[in-house]
Structure formats: structure tokens, C-alpha cells
Amino acid sequence: MSDKLVDLDQKHFIHPTSSVQQQQQEGPAFIFEKGEGIYLTDTKGETYIDAMSSLWNVNIGHGRSELAEASKAQMEKLAFSSAFSTFSHEPAIRLAEKIASIAPESLSAVFFTSGGSEANDSAFKLARHYWRLKGEPERRKILSRKKAYHGVAAASTSATGIPEFWDMAGTFMPDFIHAETPYEKSTKEAIDSMRQVIEDEGPETIAAFIAEPVQGAGGVIIPPDDYFKEVRKLCDEYGILFIADEIITGFARTGTMFGMENWGVTPDLMTFAKGVTSGYIPFGGVIISDAIHEMLKQSSGTLFHGFTYSGHPTSSAVALKNIEILEEENLAENSRKMGERLLKGFQQVKENTNIVGDVRAIGLLGAVELVKDPATNEHFPADWKVVSKAIKALHNRGIICRSVAFDDTDIICFSPPLIINEDQIDTIIENVQEAVLEVE
Ligand code: PLP
């Protein structure tokens, strides 16, 4: 069965963000067929800890029948109907209200999408539209940061700050610009770089700044405590809208319902996806400020922006049940507590090994960085592929996690389901230590 599936996979399935050549040479390393709690089981019957919540998204864990039931009930009642124009339906209305109730007070209207890339593209268009309606149509540029990951649709690829993602399209779109991020840089250096880019481009041409509260695919980069307050000040100084990309950090991942709460900063738009349904069904959206909503209300024109699946009834019903579970099981609190344990564990690993540099975690979003010399923070040469070896060693020990190896970094990322318990955290830590000792 498994061999047959490998053969069919190689012949017919183009994997997202992967090497097609490697797929042809090696086939898929895992074909998963079952998930339960924090565990995934493959077709060979091997069970693994899903220490990435798959793609940073299975927040409430695998195998939750409540979500399957919510989906079934909604599909049986009304699987799909349009939300375009004057059509509406209860699940999307209830979900929009629920999301508004957990978002910052001044953000209380939601536009739904099918995923994160669409959410960010929508946020950029909404920001530009806002400025057009406000009489400043020259504000079109979107400022983002190096190492940012905002998705793979045309505009979200352009906002992404990892050059490898631009190559496929030759370059990124015009009117997208990138400043420094506070990775191995202070708040001052990052903010100075932002200011410089804004001044060079002309503040009157910039519509919005976008940032992940914690940069995920760039290597789980947690900013210094004062960073986002300074970002907010700078955006206000130049009248630039602030978009928080909460696609990984939203829905309790970092110990609070939304990541930006950690720094007490309120953005103008927030994009979300992933954790809103814990990955059980595709979904996403943008929450907009009341000021932007007001501007839309004042315009008599049609908002020419809508996906067939904007506000999909089944996805909405699943999201509502998922948020109910996050709240009832207090998973933001568990994320915070277990995250503290994870970080302590990482610190122990650093002490007990010789190639661990920075370790970090905020809630259940963490990273262990491998460096040639922890004293000087000298990175390994890229061709040593240290992090790939470490990930393989972890896989061999039954832990699924993910590497980041851009710009000569060797970072192991962790983002386990928020239902994880202390023993399971300790199992991850023990295995990380063994894997690092094996490759050092
Ligand atoms: N933004 C962030 C921070 C992400 O991590 C991702 C996906 O990993 C996206 C946007 C894109 O979301 P999607 O893959 O659902 O289009």
C-alpha cells in the first residue's frame, strides 16, 4: 500500500514549497494517515509527536470529533451559499461577531478569505482602497521586513522578505519595500532602518506596514519588548496603517488570543488564518479598524473584492467550534505555561551541548538556533547543512519539527499543539538534546 502511494505521489502530486527533483529521487519521507492529540501516525504504523502543529496551525490538536461534528451538521443544513452582495447566512454572521469580540476593541468588522495569503492580499487592497477613499491615492506602497513570510499569492509573495520566494516570479511586484527586522539587531537599528526606507520612498506614498508579531518562517524571531510600541509610534508619525499578520500567532499560539497583545499594541488591520480552524478546514480573514470600516460605509461604490469562499458556512461553523474549544479549555493559558517549560528545557539543552546559540519561545512558538561557536554566535557555513541533520535526527526519534536555513542560519522551529502537557514537553526536550548531541 505504502509503496504504491509513494509511486502515485511521485507521478502525480506536486507538493507545495518542496523540491520536485528531491521528490522524484526520494519520494515522500512520511505519508500520514491518522492524527490524535499531539501525535501523527504514518502508513508504516510509526507514531510521531507533531511538534509543529503540522504547519503551525493544528492548535487544538488532531482528531477532535467536535470539529468533525460541527462540519457535518453545517454541511447537512447548508453546505454552501454565497455571501456576495446582499446574501448572507448565520454561521458567517456569528463568526464575524465572535472574532470582533476577541479582537482589540477598535477592530470590529471582518472580511473572510480561504487562507492566509488571500488574507494578506486582501489587507493590502483594503489599505490602498482606504487611502483612495480618503483622497490620498498615491499611498500605495506596502512596507514589510526582511525575513518576513506573508504567503505566496502575488502581493503576499512580494511582501515576503525571504528572497528565495521571489525567484519563481523573477522579482517582487512594484510598490513593495522591505526594511530591517530586529533579528540580531536592536529595536533602534530596526526602527532606524524603517524610518530611512520611509523617508527615502516618501511617507506620502506608503499605504501600510505589515509585520508578523513573531516572524515564523523567518526563524521564530521574537522582537525586543519595546519594538512594536516604537513601530506603532512610527506608523502614527507618518500616518501609515499598521497590519499585524496574526496568521501564525493568532488564536492562542503565543499565550494570548492574538500575538500583538503581548506588547499591548493595537494594529489597524489584523490578518488571520491557520489557528482559526486549527487547520481542520481552510479559512482566513482580515479584521479591520472601525476607522477603515467607517470609510467603507461612506462609499456608495461596490467593494470589488470577494472570494467565492469568503465566509464559507462550513468553515465558519468549524471556526466557531474551534474558538469555543480554545476558550473553554483555556488553551492560551496552557500555551503560556507550557511555553515557559519549553523555554526552560531549551536553556538546559544549550547548557548541556556545544552548538546551541540563542534559544527562545513565547507561548508555544519557539526555536533552537544552532551555531558553530555559541560564544561568538558565529554561524555554520551553509554547506554544512547542520540543521537538516538535526531535523533528520529528530525525525528518527519521533519528533516532527521544521528547519529554517535562510541566510546561513540553522534554526529548529517548534510550534506544538496547545493541548500539550508537561510530560510531552519534556519528551520533546529530551529528544532535542539527544539530536543536538548526535550532530555536534
Ligand atoms: N502569513 C504567515 C505569518 C504565515 O506563516 C503564512 C503561512 O505559513 C501565511 C501568511 C500564508 O498563509 P497561507 O499558507 O494560508 O496562504
Domain membership flag for residue 190? yes
Q: d(Cα 260, Cα 287) in Å, to the nearest integer? A: 13
Cβ 54 under 6 angstroms from ligand 1: no
Is the same domain home to 171 and 187? Answer: yes
Is the same domain home to 347 and 425? Answer: yes
Domain membership flag for residue 3? no
Last residue of a domain, one of 287, 308, 328: 328
Domain count, the chain: 2
Last residue of a domain, one of 328, 343, 377: 328
Domain membership flag for residue 269? yes
Domain membership flag for residue 212? yes
Domain membership flag for residue 271? yes
Is the same domain home to 137 and 200? Answer: yes
Last residue of a domain, one of 273, 295, 328: 328
- Give the pLDDT confidence score for residue 1 in this predicted structure: 56
Is the same domain home to 322 and 343? Answer: no
DSSP calls for 207-261: EEEEE-SSBSTTT-BPPPTTHHHHHHHHHHHHT-EEEEE-TTTTTTTTSSSSGGG
- Give the pLDDT confidence score for residue 112 in this predicted structure: 98
Domain assignment of residue 307, given as a range = 66-328
Ligand 1 pocket test: pick from 150, 246, 253, 307 the residue with the most ligand atoms within 8 Å of its Cβ.
150
CA-proximal residue: ligand 1, atom 1 (nearest): 150
- Give the pLDDT confidence score for residue 405 in this predicted structure: 86
Residue 6 CA to ligand 1 centre (angstroms): 27
- Give the pLDDT confidence score for residue 408 in this predicted structure: 87
Cut 0.95: pTM above it: yes
- Give the pLDDT confidence score for residue 303 in this predicted structure: 95
Q: Which atom of ligand 1 is the closest one to the Cα of 284?
A: 15
- Give the pLDDT confidence score for residue 30 in this predicted structure: 96
Is the same domain home to 42 and 71? Answer: no
State the CATH number of the domain containing residue 352: 3.90.1150.10
Is the same domain home to 70 and 188? Answer: yes
Cβ 61 under 6 angstroms from ligand 1: no
State the CATH number of the domain containing residue 72: 3.40.640.10
CA-proximal residue: ligand 1, atom 9 (nearest): 151
**DSSP percent split of the chain into helix, strand, coil, nearest 5:** 45, 15, 40
- Give the pLDDT confidence score for residue 255 in this predicted structure: 98
- Give the pLDDT confidence score for residue 370 in this predicted structure: 97
- Give the pLDDT confidence score for residue 384 in this predicted structure: 87
Own/partner long-range contacts of 22-31 (Cβ < 8 Å, ≥24 apart): 29/395, 30/400, 31/2, 31/5, 31/6
Is the same domain home to 72 and 114? Answer: yes
ipTM of the complex: 0.99
b/e per residue 419-437 (b: at least 16 CB within 10 A): bbeeebbebbbebbbbbbe
Cβ 311 under 6 angstroms from ligand 1: no
Is the same domain home to 379 and 315? Answer: no
Domain membership flag for residue 149? yes
Cβ 216 under 6 angstroms from ligand 1: yes
Joined together, the cell numbers standing for residue 269 give 488591520
Neighbours of 24 (CB within 10 A): 10
Q: d(Cα 415, Cα 401) in Å, to the nearest integer? A: 8
Contact criterion met (CB below 8 Å) for 103 and 351:
no
Residue 116 CA to ligand 1 centre (angstroms): 5
Is the same domain home to 342 and 402? Answer: yes
Is the same domain home to 145 and 254? Answer: yes
Is the same domain home to 322 and 340? Answer: no
Ligand 1 pocket test: pick from 52, 269, 274 the residue with the most ligand atoms within 8 Å of its Cβ.
274
Which letter does DSSP use for residue 185 in this model?
A: S
Domain membership flag for residue 16? no
- 440 residues of the chain, pLDDT tens digit each: 578 999 999 999 999 999 999 999 999 999 999 999 999 999 999 999 999 999 999 999 999 999 999 999 999 999 999 999 999 999 999 999 999 999 999 999 999 999 999 999 999 999 999 999 999 999 999 999 999 999 999 999 999 999 999 988 877 789 999 999 999 999 999 999 999 999 999 999 999 999 999 999 999 999 999 999 999 999 999 999 999 999 999 999 999 999 999 999 999 999 999 999 999 999 999 999 999 999 999 999 999 999 999 999 999 999 999 999 999 999 999 999 999 999 999 999 999 999 999 999 999 999 999 999 999 999 999 888 999 999 999 999 999 999 998 888 999 999 999 999 999 999 999 999 999 999 99
Termini Cα distance of the chain: 37
Residue 373 CA to ligand 1 centre (angstroms): 32
Is the same domain home to 305 and 419? Answer: no
Domain membership flag for residue 189? yes
